[in-house]
């Protein structure tokens, strides 16, 4: 029997920037589309079927005493290859439990800050998909922003922290992942907030996330202040916490900007996107710490495994904020769009409450990388 490694153990290595060597035995097209990434992660891809007759294709790339984590789609092939490697004298081989399917669902909480009135702010990093969600707690209450569908992670964390989840907030109607906000709100008897302009087709009741309509979590001074910031979607709304943290949803990322076409409206919404990034956000303090809903590149992970940046710094270094000419900006946004996320239409319908796929189907719908950013 080979040794196994859990996604949590692997996540700790990635977040702590430990040297990590992965042998990914999926087909090359699957690997090219989506892989495990991190600041000090090295990945070798050799399809499983190339190794069935022996390890020759990878023998000269691996040392027999180094730690090697074997990864496949669901955990079956990796176990077989790991056992073969052990028989060949490799002494430190692990197979990733559950494969990329499990990796896609792991959430790693990272503390961002203590809030000024005794609360705390956490970022939940979904390393396998680049999704970022937020847990704000104060005085026994919590709000979660842009939650993923694996709601048991948040429930468990709330129990450990001794807080009650009161508010579930989506900055916009998501098209790349299924939101857990509504389900968690029902389960916790909390309030689900969604921008009204993104909620015109939803089939359920919600509280309107609107500019000027603060949400109070615990102590009255820990306010979540909505700021209308359209462009990724028509309703996209950012949040300011503690006058210091700007949750930008999918409008602004650390190394890129949001794409405005997940509802097929790139040409229509590019003007809104530009206005938000080049006017509305410009009026905010440069010292705000930007906390986005996604990241696309391993180098965006900071030393502590979190993803953040000072707003003023992004105006100096983020290429998506450097395009003064409006036509050039429009061209950049509409011509540099990556493929649509897998099953994005069904994900939007699920988030609207129009369809309710089985759990296994929901997992399949989300497999793959996030594609919410414009590619430079």
Looking at the annotation, which residues are catalytic? 72
Angle at the Cα of 36 from the Cα atoms of 68 and 256, rounded to 5 degrees: 150
**117, 111, 121, 145: which is closest to 131 by C-alpha?**
145
Q: What whole-number distance in Å separates Cα of residue 193 and Cα of residue 249?
A: 14
Torsion angle, alpha carbons of 360, 362, 367, 373, to 10? -170
Rounded Cα distance between 250 and 257, Å, is 8
CB of 246 closer than 8 Å to CB of 238: yes
Strand-pair category, 207-208 with 215-216: unpaired
Q: Which two tokens stand for residue 275?
A: 């206005």
CB 97 within 8 A of CB 103: no
Alpha carbon separation from 195 to 20, 94, 171, 210, 233 (Å, rounded): 41, 45, 7, 6, 10
Q: Are 145 and 121 in contact (CB under 8 A)?
A: no
Q: Which residue, among 276, 356, 316, 364, has the nearest Cα to 73 in the 3D structure?
A: 364
Distance of CA 20 to the CA centre of its chain: 21
CA distance 323 to 281: 15
d(CA 364, CA 2): 27
């Amino acid at each position: 029997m080979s040794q196994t490694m859990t996604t949590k153990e692997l996540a700790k290595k990635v977040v702590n920037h430990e040297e990590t060597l992965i042998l990914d035995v999926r087909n090359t097209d699957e690997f090219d589309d989506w892989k495990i990434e991190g600041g000090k992660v090295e990945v070798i891809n050799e399809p499983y079927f190339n190794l069935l007759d022996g390890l020759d294709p990878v023998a000269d790339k691996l040392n027999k005493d180094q730690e090697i984590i074997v990864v496949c789609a669901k955990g079956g092939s990796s176990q077989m290859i790991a056992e073969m490697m052990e028989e060949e004298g490799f002494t430190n081989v692990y197979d990733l439990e559950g494969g990329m399917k499990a990796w896609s669902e792991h959430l790693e909480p990272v503390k961002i800050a203590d809030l000024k009135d005794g609360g705390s702010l956490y970022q939940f990093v979904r390393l396998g998909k680049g999704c970022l969600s937020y847990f704000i707690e104060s005085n026994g209450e919590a709000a979660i922003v842009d939650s993923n569908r694996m709601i048991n992670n948040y429930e468990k964390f709330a129990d450990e922290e001794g807080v009650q989840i009161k508010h579930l907030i989506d900055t916009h109607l998501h098209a790349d992942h299924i939101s857990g906000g509504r389900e968690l709100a029902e389960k916790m008897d909390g309030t689900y907030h969604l921008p009204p302009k993104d909620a015109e087709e939803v089939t359920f009741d919600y509280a309107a996330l609107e500019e000027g309509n603060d949400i109070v979590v615990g102590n009255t001074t820990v306010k979540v202040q909505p700021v209308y910031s359209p462009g990724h979607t028509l309703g996209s709304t950012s949040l300011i916490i503690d006058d210091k943290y700007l949750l930008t949803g999918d409008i602004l990322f650390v190394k890129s900007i949001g794409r405005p076409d997940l509802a097929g409206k790139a040409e229509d919404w590019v003007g809104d996107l530009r206005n938000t990034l080049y006017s509305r956000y410009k009026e905010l303090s440069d010292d705000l710490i930007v906390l986005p809903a996604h990241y696309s590149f391993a180098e965006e992970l900071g030393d502590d495994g979190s993803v953040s940046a000072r707003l003023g710094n992004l105006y100096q270094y983020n290429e998506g904020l450097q395009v003064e000419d409006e036509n050039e900006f429009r061209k950049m946004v509409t011509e540099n769009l990556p493929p649509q996320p897998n099953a994005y239409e069904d994900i939007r319908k699920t988030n609207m409450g129009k369809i309710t796929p089985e759990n296994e189907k929901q997992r399949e719908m989300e497999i793959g990388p996030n594609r919410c950013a414009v590619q430079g």
